[in-house]
Amino acid sequence: MTDELSVTGIEGYGYHGVLEFEKRAGQKFLVDLTLGIDTAPAAASDDLHDTVDYGSLVTKVLAAVEKDPVDLIETLAQRIADVCLLDDRVEWATVTVHKPDAPIHATFADVTLTITRKREVLPRD
């Protein structure tokens, strides 16, 4: 059984983009996370150690947004998914990266990319 834990609207500032001025000036990025986890152990114990600490996870996600610039939001989304999957309790992660200030010469509300990544299951010997 998999439950879903979501944190939406995580706001960070990064220097990602293909264009040189994006890397120089930076811009706001928003991140939405949905994680597949089994919450039954935490519900039974009422202990934070038995679940994903979403406060700690958000800090790590922000660090992923704010560190080393990349060209594409595809790369940034993968970096964030990798951070989420570091916790063995996370079975899968859906990550949406919003780039509301993307350099597009038209009126638009947002640019988003959503990816879903699953924990890799290694074959048994």
Q: What is the pTM (predicted TM-score) of this model?
A: 0.92
- What residues contact residue 2 under an 8 Å CB cut-off, 6+ apart? 36, 37, 38, 91, 92
Q: How far is CA 43 from CA 49, 51, 74, in A?
A: 11, 9, 35
Asked if 11 contacts 28 with a C-beta cutoff of 8 angstroms, the reply is yes
Give the pLDDT confidence score for residue 2 in this predicted structure: 87
- Of the residues 23, 28, 67, 99, which is catalytic? 99
CA 20, 22, 24, 25 dihedral sign is positive
* Whole-angstrom Cα Rg for the chain: 16
Tokens for 114, please give them.
Answer: 């959503």
**Which pLDDT tens digit goes with each residue over 24-73?**
999 999 999 999 999 999 999 999 999 999 999 999 999 999 999 999 99
Pick the CATH number of 3-118 from 3.30.1130.10, 3.30.1490.480, 3.40.47.10, 1.10.10.10: 3.30.1130.10
Q: What is the mean pLDDT of residues 8-25?
A: 95
pLDDT of residue 91: 97
Q: Is 99 a catalytic residue?
A: yes
Alpha carbon distance 28, 82 (integer Å): 21
